[in-house]
Chains A and B, each alone.
Chain A
């Protein structure tokens, strides 16, 4: 299992041709208390960089971009009733969607764990 990161603070965990997507603990911390998540519909298709979901804190709404291209095969409906899961466990239980990859080579352009840590350290 490989985990990759985007500069928009999303993580992508890949198993076979399926990517699980969420936001990083850095992003969750910056947002503050998450009070609502608008999830993508199952079956929706996204190109890398499209608006895929919306995460709302008390203060504001923020877009979550598709870190890779593909079709949504599952959305984490637990977040509808318990959006605070995004703060409590952003990199596990707080995942947003599972995407069937349409272009796995896109993963090569994302950061690995060490590169993402260095990226955050410079912010």
Chain B
């Protein structure tokens, strides 16, 4: 008997199985790791349009007591509440604008990375649409309830379908169902209706490609199946999701980010908004502002192995005889056609081009610090 609780299923579970997916346990859900193969799925996404089931993630609404309102002050009120937990400028979000940020602990350590969206609709102010990671959603929501529970209402939306459509054909595919989606810019979001399904359509994703994430009612499985019938669209598993985000230089929580790492160490200093630095009013501000001013002891960098051997998570990084860091994500990049990795190194070795040695199964292999991303982003600005 297994010690683990039974795996949960997303509303699209049976669709994956019918399409022949290889399924694995991930974040407590039975999820597709691959369909036809990681390499083919990865390349299809970069060239056409990949459909990813990310319903295991944690979409939710945080709303002022009494419900959403129509006045600008309502947005400021709800933004001030969430800003006690994150270092991003949430008050300054325009209607329909989304922002990547991080939940911080009192030491400035990263508890999760998340996207916070201000609703576009005039009657939905005083509410934020938030998407957190699947593996951390229980802890994140417990924290939000503990800190903000008396001041705001948290509504989980993780019984719905959350899909990402990513790749150069995503705009054409998605705008057939949601014509207004074509007019969204990167990190913009709107409520849209298709066939009586009220959805939240956001122009974002985690592959480095242009694309959309769409929250769909659980009754919308048939519509997702229709999308998969489009010849430009193929279902993509978690395997290619990982290789795509790694080539795009994007962090995977629990691997590249954890509660011991600050945003400065994680090379995510850009997430700490200017006005929040001036106010110094977010968790761990003292430590983080000191690191911004004086540098952090370690830094997340891209790492390019010089031969064909992939360097996986946990691989030790050396400069000469001295251990100076560790790989936190590594594998093979199908678009790069070679191994790619990210890891943390001591600050004096963080400069692009610095020569390093990776100990892969006891053998030293040459590598150097590389600029991220490995594959240029194709966002619609």
A binds B: yes
Known contacts A33-B37, A36-B309, A38-B309; A58 and B339 CB within 8 A of each other = no
- A58 / chain B contacts, CB cutoff of 8 Å: 38-39, 42, 239-240, 243, 331-332, 334
Known contacts A56-B332, A58-B243, A59-B331; A32 and B308 CB within 8 A of each other = no
**Nearest Cβ in chain B — how far from A26, in angstroms?**
14
| Interface residue count on the A side (C-beta < 8 Å) | 14
Decide if B310 is an interface residue (CB 8 Å cutoff): yes
**Nearest Cβ in chain A — how far from B255, in angstroms?**
14
CA–CA, A36 and B309, complex, Å: 6
Decide if A111 is an interface residue (CB 8 Å cutoff): no
Q: Which of B18-38 contact A (CB under 8 A)?
A: 33-34, 37-38
Task: Indicate the member of B33, B39, B312 with the most A CB atoms within 10 Å.
Answer: B39
Scoring B residues 232 to 249 as 1 if CB is less than 8 Å from chain A, else 0, what string do you get? Answer: 000000011011000000
- B38 / chain A contacts, CB cutoff of 8 Å: 32-33, 57-59
Contact between chains at B37 and A32 (CB < 8 Å)? yes
Known contacts A54-B361, A58-B39; A36 and B332 CB within 8 A of each other = yes
CA–CA, A22 and B334, complex, Å: 25
Contact between chains at B239 and A33 (CB < 8 Å)? no
Known contacts A58-B38, A58-B332; A35 and B361 CB within 8 A of each other = no
CA–CA, A58 and B239, complex, Å: 8
- B332 / chain A contacts, CB cutoff of 8 Å: 35-36, 56-58
- A33 / chain B contacts, CB cutoff of 8 Å: 37-39, 334
Decide if A61 is an interface residue (CB 8 Å cutoff): yes
- B361 / chain A contacts, CB cutoff of 8 Å: 38, 54
**Nearest Cβ in chain A — how far from B371, in angstroms?**
22
- A35 / chain B contacts, CB cutoff of 8 Å: 308, 310, 332, 339
Decide if A67 is an interface residue (CB 8 Å cutoff): no
- A60 / chain B contacts, CB cutoff of 8 Å: 312
CA–CA, A60 and B310, complex, Å: 9
Task: Indicate the member of B312, B332, B339 with the most A CB atoms within 10 Å.
Answer: B332
CA–CA, A33 and B42, complex, Å: 12
Say which residue of A32, A61, A80, A83 sits within 8 Å of B312 (CB atoms): A61
Scoring A residues 52 to 72 as 1 if CB is less than 8 Å from chain B, else 0, what string do you get? Answer: 001011111100000000000
- B240 / chain A contacts, CB cutoff of 8 Å: 58
Say which residue of B37, B39, B308, B310 sits within 8 Å of A61 (CB atoms): B310
Task: Indicate the member of A32, A59, A60, A80 with the most B CB atoms within 10 Å.
Answer: A59
Specify the chain B residue showing the minimal Cβ separation from A51: B361
CA–CA, A32 and B239, complex, Å: 11
CA–CA, A56 and B33, complex, Å: 16
Task: Indicate the member of A33, A35, A58, A60 with the most B CB atoms within 10 Å.
Answer: A58
CA–CA, A54 and B310, complex, Å: 11
CA–CA, A52 and B33, complex, Å: 28
Specify the chain B residue showing the minimal Cβ separation from A32: B37
- A83 / chain B contacts, CB cutoff of 8 Å: 308
Query: What residues of chain B have their CB less than 8 Å away from a CB belonging to chain A?
Result: 33-34, 37-39, 42, 239-240, 242-243, 308-310, 312, 331-332, 334, 339, 361
Given A58-B334, A59-B242, 10 more contacts at CB 8 Å?
A33-B334, A35-B308, A36-B308, A38-B361, A58-B38, A58-B42, A58-B240, A58-B243, A58-B331, A61-B312
Identify the 3 closest CB pairs spanning chains A and B, nearest first.
A33-B39, A35-B332, A58-B38
